[in-house]
Amino acid sequence: MSERVDRSGLRVDAALAQFIESEVLQPLGRDAAAFWAGFAELLRRFGPRNVALLDKRDELQAKIDRWHAERRGQPHDADAYRGFLEEIGYLVAEPEPFTVGTTNVDAEIAAMAGPQLVVPALNARFVLNAANARWGSLYDAYYGTDALPQAPAAQVSGYDPKRGEAVIAAARAFLDLAVPLENTSWSEIAGPESLPLCQPSQYLGSTEKGLVFCNHGLHIEVVFDRENAIGRTDPAGIADIRLEAALTTIVDLEDSIAAVDGEDKLAAYRNWLGVIRGDLEASFDKGGKTMTRSLEGDLVVTAVDGSTLDLSGRSLLFVRNVGHLMTNPAVLQVGGAEVPEGILDAVVTSAIGALDVEGHSRWRNSRCGSIYIVKPKMHGPEEAAFTNDLFDAVEDLLGLKRHTIKVGVMDEERRTSANLAACIAAVKDRIVFINTGFLDRTGDEIHTSMRAGPMVRKGAMKQSVWLDAYEKRNVAIGLACGLSGKAQIGKGMWAAPDRMHAMLDEKVGHLRAGANTAWVPSPTAAVLHALHYHATDVFEVQHRLAPAPGLDALLTLPLAEGVNWSEAEIAEELDNNCQGLLGYVVRWIDQGIGCSKVPDINDVGLMEDRATLRISSQHLANWLLHGVASQPQVMDALKRMAVRVDAQNAGDPAYRPMEGNWNSHPAFLAAVDLVFKGLDQPNGYTEPLLHAWRRKVKAS
């Protein structure tokens, strides 16, 4: 039990209160007593609204469940279904045409197109890596990955010249595409002097050892250094090609972390404070030496006219708050109820962001004076309006100008997808981001229509009618609402950090779909994904996109109608779901790791966060409900896959095997709960069960 202090009737974790008062409010010059009184009043105003919104979710789901149950065994009537959703208020009227009015948005969001990272806030080293991923070496990205399958594998430790030759050739080919020369190639130049650029305006100036160019709004630094080991043997003296890569990063307090109490929340807030303030550091061992990582400075460019241009050396930072569902014991309200965690996040992360807005940071995060918050898991326009009102109140509490706090709306819940224009309208003067995400959105698709019938297999879900409509409508509706030039329209994660050649082949599809940002799993992947934005002008693509599918396509249920799976196919699907679920949950429950590279059933490492549990647990619950699989079959799959996961984690000294501990291992029991209680979880979310089991482990 943590020590608590009283603040305006709130019982606050003592360490968290000290942190807020001394490290956030004091530098801001805010009165602590006034802050806590205002926070308590804010909770009195918004707490009941938060509960009412959650109650409405449950009421709508109960009505949908009854509708499907009453028609069990009958063909699905799409017209009657849509009419029913309108009748119960699940679907709302489309707003009149409008254009968002967001102002004071940084160029990385409004005017540039490029990769985006998502990083767990609880890992300081990862936060620094992501923040510093604004720039990265193309040479390193090519050399250290499978991006160039034609390049010979390194045959020696250290640098292999043969592989290096292939890397240099590919990098020169990139320059010929992005910064073409008149009647020659970058592979033929002798040095940096008098480069015959096809477009002289691409040249911005020089750095200490390089030349800087711009293409499609992204910057490129060609480093000339004949004292460098690579530059010494290069005919032109080129030592590296550095690309502007992760324009933006989301520091995540949600799906990629395990934060269940005041101790966890404080650790996450402290890292957010450090990266905003500019003094975050992380030390680690490398080759027997202690290394310390900190934030990079800006890239100073001397322009042609002799003036100085500072290009940011760091990714522009968002912070992702949690959604409306969960509460947290970091703060107890009058009467002892836990604080709504989304409200706590809004207040604390905004207060920390105010340090940047008011000039109390080493480097400016937002040069436009904005605080960027991504808000996930909102269901429909009422919940978006709640967030808008909450952010108004937080601005008033902190003495910030109206709409200083910007919002990113994650389109990952079915009711939001179906009413996306109305959701955007509810936050139209502060919206800076929308995106799509397969895992959570599919989890909600399954749970919403749980009783309609058995769902198709997860792999087939990616070819479903609703998913195609979802992806296309998100972009089209965002553009129709005027997001281009004011906000990001994003696409989801490439989850396989070791499969960069495949990413280069496939992820360009996100740009061709009109997205001006997309998630990648690492700084290296950000460098490689940046190549797509040099090859494709996304803003030009947005002008020629085809009309989006209609709402009926989005509402098409992914039912496995007329399918008769073999026993082998059913077993394969159960194993896949159970292995993925167990592989993630065992680290979450036992070690508090919310995001890591988890081997899948084929031993391919995937960057997984909590969304993978939602889709897997809901799919299993659906097949159990409709008799596709039995409880003994699923339990057998869970046990067999637990043995598999144990083997995959055999090299981790902190790992506790599940095999043989079926009735006592908390992670295995949590996985069992997620599946067999999945039907009853609110909107199919996994957080309530995960938090309960993680707290038990922390208390033991």
Active site residues: 320, 609
SS3 state at 332:
strand
- The answer to whether the beta carbons of residues 117 and 526 sit under 8 Å apart is yes
User: How far does CA 282 lie from the centroid of its chain?
Assistant: 22
- Phi, then psi, of 60 in degrees rounded to 5: -65, -45
53, 492, 551, 451: CA torsion to nearest 10 = -60
Classify residue 313 as exposed, middle or buried by CB count within 10 Å of its CB (0-12, 13-18, 19+): middle
Q: Give dist(CA 202, CA 214) in Å, integer.
A: 5
Contact assessment for residue 548 and residue 554, using Cβ atoms and an 8 Å cutoff: no
110: tokens are: 């409004």
Match 């010979």 to its residue by tokens.
152
First to last CA, the chain: 12
Q: Do the Cβ atoms of 690 and 611 come closer than 8 Å?
A: no
Location of structure tokens 């229509």: 449
Question: Residue 120's beta-bridge partner residues?
Answer: 252
HSE-up (13 A, CA, CB side) for residue 68 = 18
112, 218 contact by CB (below 8 A): yes
Q: Are 690 and 256 in contact (CB under 8 A)?
A: no
CA distances from 71 to 39, 74, 445, 613, 676 (A): 48, 6, 19, 29, 24
C-alpha–C-alpha distance, residues 468 and 689, integer Å: 31
Amino acid letter for position 26: Q
If DSSP codes are grouped into helix, strand and coil, which group holds residue 63? helix
Give 152-169 as a DSSP string: PPP-SSS--HHHHHHHHH
Question: Judging by beta carbons within 10 Å of its beta carbon (0-12, 13-18, 19+), is residue 470 exposed, middle or buried?
Answer: buried
For 619-656, b where at least 16 C-beta lie within 10 A, e where not — what string? bbbbbbebebbeeebbebbbbbbbebbbebbeeeeebb
DSSP collapsed to 3 states, 49-90: HHHHHHHHHHHHHHHHHHHHHHCCCCCCCHHHHHHHHHHCCC
Sign of CA dihedral 448, 453, 457, 461: negative
Residue reference for tokens 């995960």 = 690
Start-end of H helices in 592-686: 611-625, 631-648, 666-676
Spatial distance between the Cα atoms of 110 and 433, rounded to a whole number of angstroms: 9
Q: For 13-31, where are the alpha helices, taking DSSP H only?
A: 14-19, 26-28
